Copies of this chain bind each other. A is one copy, B any other.
């Protein structure tokens, strides 16, 4: 049997897997097939590339392609699309240009990522209508912007990418309309925090339209306008930022089991339903450490960690990726918004009995000139007193604090444990009662008040 490891997909999870396998087993043959032209890049940097803050697409590469071949002895093949998997005979079928070939594998890591959702609506194929997922997508948008000099951009979907791109296009001087079919930006977040973010976007000149589902894109060859529930807008460029679904087609066709949200089912070893096949990154499910259930939360941070574990185990190791708490940060329009764990609605849907304490406290000592208040929403389960999630918003001092709550979630802490946490204090960086502690104490008082009312 061949000892060859084949990795399908070479962005984040795939290159992490290949690198880790190589490190643990210097004799293993490691091949990576990537359908696109680039490998090992950080897709989360694309809005900054498009805003002109990163000059070369190559600056988003974690490592140049050559370094894998020369320094790590990893055979990386861009523009090689894997067409199918034959798990019985342990072969992958690959297309490179006009040539197809099959190659045997001993172990396989699937890191095929996610695909952007595209609506089945008139005009979706017009020139000037884009999605933004890969570095090639980013280069295509940049080239279009350079060649066509669009003045009016419509972004459809006000999630992280939609919001970041609204800021990026604004920086380029475009007039930006941001459409969101839900009643708020960042659907799923607490409405009040999302509303503050929308306010900041509007203050920066973005025409934010919520409750505004996309209906059609119009134009002859190039897009010229967009129609949505509630109106229409001229558009020289349309970005569809409607979210993603796992690119699990190859896995499904090969008979591998799918799990949460149609992502590839894996266990804590990142092993799929076939013992020689591992999956990692945006194509794979993960485990939510607050609910204990499978979840699909595609993020680059998770992809890298899962990739390392998949690569280690594909090389004969025995490592586990315990799961995620779903920590996310977005920094736009002068604000940092972050969440970790479950919202109150998600906790209720998971069978918990949640309540949310909402506080506002300065990020620094009150007398010290700083970024002003941090708003904290802390969701707690009444029965167990466990912290189940948090959301934060402020001009600064947010990301470090959400990470601290992420650690509390990972440790299954109660609010009482959180309220005794020994946090650093110095007037330029925090008040003596940190916003985290204020929120934990507020949650204690909420439960205290409720218990008293029960008596």
* A142 CB within 8 Å of chain B: no
A406-B426 in contact (CB<8A)? no
Per the bound structure, the CA–CA distance linking A348 and B411 in Å amounts to 27
* A424 CB within 8 Å of chain B: yes
Per the bound structure, the CA–CA distance linking A330 and B331 in Å amounts to 26
**Contact among B302, B400, B420, B427 for A422, CB-based, below 8 A:** B302
> What's the nearest-Cβ distance from chain B to residue A392, in Å?
10
* A301 CB within 8 Å of chain B: yes
> What's the nearest-Cβ distance from chain B to residue A237, in Å?
22
Per the bound structure, the CA–CA distance linking A131 and B368 in Å amounts to 23
Q: If A367-B53, A400-B401, A429-B336 touch, does A423 touch B45 (CB 8 Å cutoff)? A: no
> Nearest residue in B to A392 (C-beta to C-beta)?
B424
Per the bound structure, the CA–CA distance linking A368 and B367 in Å amounts to 30
Q: If A321-B420, A400-B400 touch, does A331 touch B429 (CB 8 Å cutoff)? A: yes
The A363-414 residues at the B interface (CB cut-off 8 A) are 365, 367-369, 397-404, 406-408, 410-411, 413
The A402-455 residues at the B interface (CB cut-off 8 A) are 402-404, 406-408, 410-411, 413, 417, 420-430, 432-434, 436
B406-A403 in contact (CB<8A)? no
Per the bound structure, the CA–CA distance linking A198 and B455 in Å amounts to 59
* A327 CB within 8 Å of chain B: yes
* A150 CB within 8 Å of chain B: no
Per the bound structure, the CA–CA distance linking A336 and B425 in Å amounts to 11
**Contact among B340, B411, B420, B424 for A305, CB-based, below 8 A:** B420
**Contact among B331, B369, B404, B422 for A301, CB-based, below 8 A:** B422
B407-A424 in contact (CB<8A)? no
B327-A423 in contact (CB<8A)? yes
Residues of B within 8 A of A336 (CB): 426, 428-429
> What's the nearest-Cβ distance from chain B to residue A298, in Å?
13
The A172-187 residues at the B interface (CB cut-off 8 A) are none
* A359 CB within 8 Å of chain B: no
Per the bound structure, the CA–CA distance linking A400 and B422 in Å amounts to 12
Residues of B within 8 A of A433 (CB): 301, 304
A365-B424 in contact (CB<8A)? no
* A244 CB within 8 Å of chain B: no
B322-A429 in contact (CB<8A)? no
A422-B367 in contact (CB<8A)? no
> What's the nearest-Cβ distance from chain B to residue A112, in Å?
19
Q: If A326-B422, A422-B410 touch, does A428 touch B44 (CB 8 Å cutoff)? A: no
B432-A44 in contact (CB<8A)? yes
* A300 CB within 8 Å of chain B: yes
* A249 CB within 8 Å of chain B: no
Q: If A304-B433, A400-B404, A411-B407 touch, does A368 touch B424 (CB 8 Å cutoff)? A: no
* A191 CB within 8 Å of chain B: no
> Nearest residue in B to A43 (C-beta to C-beta)?
B432
* A253 CB within 8 Å of chain B: no
- With contacts A54-B367, A301-B425, A338-B424 known, what are 4 further pairs, Cβ within 8 A? A300-B432, A321-B420, A327-B422, A401-B403
In the A-B complex, the 8 residue pairs with the closest CB atoms: A400-B400, A329-B424, A407-B407, A399-B429, A331-B428, A411-B411, A329-B426, A327-B424
Can you list 8 pairs linking A and B with CB atoms under 8 Å apart? A44-B426, A44-B432, A48-B367, A289-B422, A324-B422, A400-B400, A403-B434, A404-B406
